[in-house]
Amino acid sequence: MQADDQIGLALTAQAGDTPLSGQFSPPGDKSISHRSIIFGALAEGETNTTNLLEGEDVLRTVAAFRTMGVKIDRQGAGAYRIHGVGLDGLSEPDNVLDMGNSGTGMRLLAGLLASQPFLSVLTGDGSLRGRPMGRIVKPLTQMGAQILGRDNGRLAPLVIQGTELVPIHYQSPVASAQVKTAILLAGLNTAGETRVTEPAVSRDHTERMLSAFGATVQRDGLTVSIDGWPTLTGQSIEVPADISAAAFPIVAALLVPGSDITLTNVGLNPTRSGIVDVLTAMGGRIEKLNPRTVGGEPVADLRVQHSQLKGIEVPPDVVPSAIDEFPVLFAAASFAEGKTVITGAEELRVKESDRIAAMAKGLTAIGSNFTETEDGAIIIGQPDGLSGGATVDSHTDHRIAMSHLVAGLACKKPVTVTRCDNINTSFPGFDGSMRGLGANINRALLA
């Protein structure tokens, strides 16, 4: 295999002779994993987590808090013990905090560090340094934060001189859990009530977990508020399987004839599970088994069977609850009968890559009838299958890479995806897990 900076890890997916079958639990939820480390570090006493996602993004957050003096012990696979230092117990880092490719880590830590009494510097890889930070810098600056960054604070690296902040009521122009959480984290060390109003409800893991740790968090319609200086107390957290990771085997099973798989312990928080609703509306056979609540989060096992999908108009109000899953939804729609129309998803353009453009280019190369729009796509599905037979670029984006590989499982000819290294960001062992279900995904041999 040729492995250089341009190609990196290349994987090939192709239709196999057998359907997908079996059962497994996808990796732990990335959003909840980040937050369990952050809130555990800020709590008093110990926090014990199980099924933590040990992907690169979350491990960057672990490393950052260790640099700030928090003792975090790995007890085994996915099991971590966090020795909390309280809201005012962090130490000034003696080095730059490198968040790698983690937009969640960068934005959440910026909110937290804005109120800490020391200097810190946040940076990341080339992709992260090109992603917009102005959406958090603006409200934090309104609270009194002192933040410097490239392009007037719009881009990382960010230099943060922590200082005493004042509470605000911020009217967010976007429904973003990262923006909301950055403000609420800044509000933890701020006297008074900090409030955030969004245009739509974004994922609410922060509110759920902060309440479990002992903070006073209230919701009134689209407004969330938090009282400053709570006493957070260490908790035991079982991280559910990530619905964003589960979306890839779900779509693969829907597309590959004869497939019947079960995914266990999948988090179905209603602010995150829009992809299940959309795929069900398209005719996907997805059955929720053994619904239960784990650590305040709704969880169920999902049985997924091959289905002939039909194109639909995706309601724009579903977008916030499925934004990370739209790349693989684009792939699913390419095999559906009829037209799928997606609007209101302009947020996809400022993720790890421009995910609309990246999916448009890749899916078109393998035969999809894909029309890119400014805020989404119009896709004319081909239920007889796409041609495949092409090599496509992941743009170093983990979700773009996995989405094209899933599409390749239902194409007439193999699909090779280059620069797949970042799959480890959110789904370590993705190709092995999919092979365990019977998927034909293997390392590519490139000349």
- Domain ranges for the chain: 11-28+240-443, 30-238
Tokens 């559910």 found at:
240
> pTM for this one?
0.91
How far apart (Å, rounded) are the C-alpha atoms in residues 93 and 96?
A: 7
Q: Identify the DSSP state of 54.
A: -
Q: What is the pLDDT of residue 447?
A: 55
How far apart (Å, rounded) are the C-alpha atoms in residues 181 and 147?
A: 17
The amino acid occupying position 33 is S
Question: Average pLDDT of the chain?
Answer: 95
Q: What is the pLDDT of residue 4?
A: 44
Structure tokens at 263: 């995914």
Task: Confirm whether 11-28+240-443 and 30-238 share one CATH topology.
Answer: yes
Q: What is the pLDDT of residues 227-241, one digit of tens each?
A: 999 999 999 999 999
Does the pLDDT at position 110 exceed 70?
Answer: yes
Q: Taking CA 143 as the corner, what is the angle to CA 138 and CA 148, rounded to the nearest 5 degrees? A: 50
Structure tokens at 413: 């000819």
Q: What is the pLDDT of residue 7?
A: 84
- H helical segments located in 265-335: 274-281, 326-333
Which of 224, 232, 156 has its CA nearest to residue 194? Answer: 224
How far apart (Å, rounded) are the C-alpha atoms in residues 36 and 205?
A: 10
CATH architecture observed for domain 11-28+240-443: Alpha-beta prism (3.65)
Q: What is the pLDDT of residues 40-73, one digit of tens each?
A: 999 999 999 999 999 999 999 999 999 999 999 9
Q: What is the pLDDT of residue 445?
A: 75
Does the pLDDT at position 342 exceed 90?
Answer: yes
Q: Which of 242, 324, 397, 431 is labelled catalytic?
A: 324
Q: What is the pLDDT of residue 3?
A: 40
Q: What is the pLDDT of residues 242-273, one digit of tens each?
A: 999 999 999 999 999 999 999 999 999 999 99
> Does the bond joining 157 to the residue before it have cis omega, within 30 degrees of 0?
yes
Does the pLDDT at position 356 exceed 50?
Answer: yes
Residues 6+ apart with CB under 8 A from 208: 269, 296, 297
Q: What is the pLDDT of residues 205-226, one digit of tens each?
A: 999 999 999 999 999 999 999 9
Beta-strand ranges (E) seen in 344-397 are 369-373, 376-380, 388-393
Q: What is the pLDDT of residue 382?
A: 97
Structure tokens at 6: 């341009």
Q: Identify the DSSP state of 310.
A: B
Which of 35, 57, 59 has its CA nearest to residue 47? Answer: 35
Q: How confident is the model at residue 39 (pLDDT cuts 50, 70, 90)?
A: very high
Q: Which helix (H) or strand (E) holds 209?
A: helix 205-213
How far apart (Å, rounded) are the C-alpha atoms in residues 359 and 159?
A: 34
Q: Do the beta carbons of residue 83 and residue 71 sit within 8 Å?
A: yes
Q: Do the beta carbons of residue 239 and residue 52 sit within 8 Å?
A: yes
30-238 belongs to which homologous superfamily? Enolpyruvate transferase domain (3.65.10.10)
Q: What is the pLDDT of residues 279-308, one digit of tens each?
A: 999 999 999 999 999 878 999 999 999 999
Q: What is the pLDDT of residue 2?
A: 39
Does the pLDDT at position 1 exceed 60?
Answer: no
Does the pLDDT at position 149 exceed 80?
Answer: yes
Query: Is 324 noted as a catalytic residue in this protein?
Result: yes
User: Residue 317 CB: number of other CB atoms within 10 A?
Assistant: 12
